[in-house]
Every structure is written in C-alpha cells, then in structure tokens.
Amino acid sequence: MKRPLRGKLAKALAFYFACCCCWAQTDSVSPEKSIHVDVNLVTLKFTVRDAGGRAVNNLSQQEFQVFEEGQPQKIVFFKAPRNVSEVTKKLRLAFLLDVSGSTFATRSEEIAAAQTFLQNIQEFTQIGIFGFTDSLISFQGFTPNRALAIKALTSARQHLGKTAIYSSLNALIGHLNDASGGPETQNAIIVISDAMDNGYWRSPQTITLARTNNVTLYTILVPSAAQLYIYPSSAVKPLSPNRSQQDKGAKEKAFARLAAQTGGKHFSGFETILNFSQVMAQINDDIFGNLYSLSYYVSGPYASQERSVRVRTNNQGLSVSTPFKNLPQKLSAKRQFIEALFSNQPATMLPNGLLESFHELGASLDLLKPRRGGGETGQAFRIRISPHSLQKSEKGNIQTQLGVIGLLVDQQGNEVVRLREIFPVNLKAKVVREGRRAIYTNKLLAPPGTYRLKIALLEIASWKMSTYENTVHIVGH
C-alpha cells in the first residue's frame, strides 16, 4: 500500500488538456499573459491541400462547411492563412522530448497534439524524433514519412538518467549541421521538458550554437511529476523563497531564453498543459503560416471531448487536414482540479467546485478497515474503475491516466491532510472485454478522530469526473 506522506508518488505516464486559453511567451522572457476566448465558442484550425499535397491558402469563408455530430454549424468567425504567397522553405523539424521519469505526466498529451501537428505540416518537411535524459537519444532520424514519425513518438518510453537539456540540444544542433540541407532549408527544434537541468548556465552557449547554425528553438515547459506533493495541515502555509526555489526559477528562465533568443516561442503555465493542442497550433502557424481558422457557437460548454467535428470545402479536389480543436471551457470545477493537481504551491482548501457532485465515471469508492498489528493511523480507501467508462484506442486497449485528490477535514472544517496523485491505467483489449476493473488504493494518514473524507477522481483525457464524500472515524491501534 502506498504511503502518501513519504512522498513516493506513482510514476505519472500521461495527461491531457482541454481549456480555452494558452499561455505564451514570445520575443522576450516576460510575465505570461492569458489569452481568453468565448466559453461557448468552438475554434478549429486546419490546412487545405490540393491533390499534389500543396497548401491552398486563398479560399474564402463561403467555400467551407463545418459539421458537429453531423449537423451543419453557422460560421461566425473566419480567418485565412497569413502565408498568402503559399511558398514555404524546406524544413527539418525535430521533436526533442525529455524522457526522464519526471516529465511523463504529460506524455500522452504531447503525442496526441503532435499527431495533429504532423497532419498540418508541408509534405516536404523532414521530421526527426529525439529524446534525452543525460544524453541525446534518437528514436527516429529525419524522414518525410509521417507514419514513422508518429510511431517513434508513441514508442518513446521512459529512460533512466538525469535531465541534460543543453548538452543534448548541442548534440542535436550538431547533427543538424552535419546533415545540412543548404541555405534553402529551415531548421527548427521543439523542446519539451520540465527545465530542471543543473547545467542551465550553459544556456547562452546553446543559444549561440543555434543562432550560428540557423536553428529556431521552440520550448514547452511541462510540470514535473516531482512537483506533486502532499500537504498536511502543518505544512499548509506560505513558503518563503529558498535556494531550491530560486534555482528552479533560474532554470526555467534559462530554458525560456532558448526560444526568446533564437526567434522561436516559449510556452509555459497551466494553460499550456491544459490545452497542448493549441500550443502545437501556434507553433505550426508560426513555422508554416498555412492554418485557416474558423469558429462557431454552441449552446453551452461541452461535457466531454468526444464530439465529432468535421470541416469540408465545396471543392472536391481539395482536402482538409485534421483540425486543431479549441473547444469551449469545461466546468470550472474540472479546470480547478487540474490546477490543484499540478500546482506545487500549497493551498488551504481544495477548489470549491470539487465539493459538487459528479458521477461521470463508472467508479466506486470502498473505505477499508485498518489492518491489525499497528502502523500509522489513518483512513485507507480503494477506488474501483470500470474500463467501460474510460477512453479506448481503436484496438480496444486502454492507456489513460487518472488524477485523484483526497482530503480529510476535521469537525471544525480545518484541512488535516491532502493527497494529490496521477496514476496510469493500462489495460489490454482482452482484459477490457472481460470487464476487469482498474484498482487504485491509498491511505490518508491522520490522528484518531472523526473527519469528512472528500475524494475527486478525473480521467484527464476525457474530463470525466466522479466525486465522493463520507464521514469517517479513525481509531487508534
């Protein structure tokens, strides 16, 4: 059984994003700004190609139709691509993923968004998939084959080793230089990491190397699994800055400068991980400039991501790519859940919205009796999750991730202990057909007494949530 107060959190293997805004830092390392859109507005970004695979950027709004669940929608906003010349240089684009254990909390979202990204790039783009821990790892050398690139992305697994962003980037830039495509070829690297490299002082050297070799860097700061903490009531108070926090800030600023000083863009903040698709859309548009954008209204926020949305043109000789989707904001409680799950800042209470009742997952809560023989006092619990309520792949496999927040409140309303954790669920199609449940077990440690137990469970990819609240009596051994 896991002991949350020991700080040993399960390895987080994945995570999703579904909000309506995105944090972006562009030409300088400055405070992030939030770009908000209408909560009932669906925005789609996509490319259009002719039969030869060439971008077609001169279509008007009247030449498009959009359907949701098979029903036509009224387009209320339209913007043509900014690349009016329809000419783009050849490009070699590398994805550089931090594959150390600390960053696996966002891996499935990176993969899903990157797949849409690859559907919207120029046909002549060479794509390379690389990873790093303490050294550079090649998952797929540069290739025009999208299928090979996607396979490499989905097969990237956790590797042991420390985070070495700058030495790995230097090696990759050198690799780009060795395989030069000439002055007609652009070079870009998308780096996804938590920025926790003790060698962050090497950032200026990497920037100089990138600029010398005409390489544009895009940096995406994702949360580390090490940032998921448990806060007993004694620890729920403002923390004064210490050396480790100062080092963390310096590392993040050094990481952001990689993009700011090479002509790219830097992305960070909760909105980045909540809407990774929009991060990829912004990078895609920055590099190619071939994205159309259109929007339509819905009557209210979506309850889930599982909506069939399709765009088509009146010209049968043209094809529309898989769109980047910016769907209406979900219930505020669910958004607050994600922020509470990933924030490394202490808080005195769970978001108020988590006290609301949700029953969207086929999951049940069991309160477990204390074991005989002593040990720490507290309330153990088990959550059993039906596979039929979780997202499945085309083959029927389940590879998803759930977030859980648990809280004990005493009779005076004070928070006594909290746990926050992300845990993976990996089930083969055969097991899913058999109806075998996923099991999560944990324990909230507290002295003897009567408490209110509050638990919220969320499948992060689908935004389905279930919440539970019970009175529990903890007795001494």
Question: What are the tens digits of pLDDT across the range 308-365?
Answer: 889 999 998 999 988 888 766 555 666 667 666 666 554 445 555 555 677 888 889 9
pLDDT of residue 190: 93
CATH number of the domain encompassing residue 179? 3.40.50.410
Question: What are the tens digits of pLDDT across the range 221-271?
Answer: 876 654 443 333 343 333 344 555 568 889 999 999 999 999 999 988 666
Assess whether 287 and 397 both reside in one domain.
Answer: no
pLDDT of residue 145: 86
Residue 248 CA to its chain's centroid (Å): 20
Q: Determine contact, residues 218/25, Cβ cutoff 8 Å.
A: no
| Structural tokens at position 181 | 């495509």
Percentage above 90 pLDDT, the chain:
23
pLDDT of residue 352: 56
Assess whether 167 and 275 both reside in one domain.
Answer: yes
Question: What are the tens digits of pLDDT across the range 406-446?
Answer: 888 888 888 788 888 878 888 888 888 888 888 899 888 88
Q: Determine contact, residues 3/445, Cβ cutoff 8 Å.
A: yes
Assess whether 226 and 262 both reside in one domain.
Answer: yes
User: What value does the mean pLDDT take over residues 89-102?
Assistant: 80
Helix (H, G, I), strand (E, B) or coil at 185: strand
**Which residue, of 302, 326, 350, is where some domain finishes?**
326
Assess whether 272 and 390 both reside in one domain.
Answer: no
pLDDT of residue 191: 93
Assess whether 157 and 258 both reside in one domain.
Answer: yes
Assess whether 309 and 424 both reside in one domain.
Answer: no
pLDDT of residue 112: 66
CA distance 284 to 271: 18
CA distance 24 to 220: 9
CA distance 187 to 199: 24
In this structure, what DSSP letter does residue 216 have? E
User: What value does the mean pLDDT take over residues 163-167?
Assistant: 90
Assess whether 169 and 213 both reside in one domain.
Answer: yes
Helix (H, G, I), strand (E, B) or coil at 184: coil
CA distance 113 to 322: 11
Q: Determine contact, residues 405/337, Cβ cutoff 8 Å.
A: yes
SS3 content of the chain, % helix, strand, coil (to 5): 25, 35, 40
CA distance 72 to 308: 12
Assess whether 216 and 173 both reside in one domain.
Answer: yes
**Which residue, of 309, 326, 343, is where some domain finishes?**
326
Place of tokens 């830097």: 266
Assess whether 121 and 143 both reside in one domain.
Answer: yes
Closest to 424 (Cα-Cα) out of 94, 169, 104, 42: 104
CA distance 318 to 323: 15
CA distance 284 to 93: 11
Closest to 460 (Cα-Cα) out of 115, 106, 220: 106
Print the domain residue range for 454: 4-12+331-474
Helix (H, G, I), strand (E, B) or coil at 140: strand
Assess whether 180 and 274 both reside in one domain.
Answer: yes
**Which residue, of 304, 326, 348, is where some domain finishes?**
326
Tell whether the model's pLDDT for residue 123 goes beyond 90: no
Question: What are the tens digits of pLDDT across the range 8-56?
Answer: 322 222 222 222 222 223 333 333 333 333 457 888 999 998 888 888 9
Helix axes of 107-119 and 276-288: crossing angle, nearest 10 degrees: 30
Does an H or E element contain 466, and which?
Answer: strand 464-474
CA distance 281 to 294: 13
CA distance 66 to 312: 6
Closest to 458 (Cα-Cα) out of 397, 400, 394: 400
Helix (H, G, I), strand (E, B) or coil at 95: strand
**Residues facing residue 218 across a β-bridge:** 190
pLDDT of residue 351: 54
Q: Determine contact, residues 215/262, Cβ cutoff 8 Å.
A: yes
Helix axes of 107-119 and 146-155: crossing angle, nearest 10 degrees: 180
CA distance 90 to 281: 19
pLDDT of residue 21: 27
| Structural tokens at position 75 | 């387009």
In the chain, the number of structural domains is: 2
| Structural tokens at position 178 | 């060795």
What is this structure's pTM? 0.67
CATH number of the domain encompassing residue 348? 2.60.40.2550
Assess whether 217 and 366 both reside in one domain.
Answer: no
Cβ count within 10 A of residue 397: 16
pLDDT of residue 209: 95
In this structure, what DSSP letter does residue 3 have? -
| Structural tokens at position 272 | 């980045």
Q: Determine contact, residues 379/393, Cβ cutoff 8 Å.
A: no
pLDDT of residue 358: 79
CA distances from 240 to 237, 244, 340, 410, 423 (A): 9, 11, 20, 27, 30
Assess whether 197 and 139 both reside in one domain.
Answer: yes
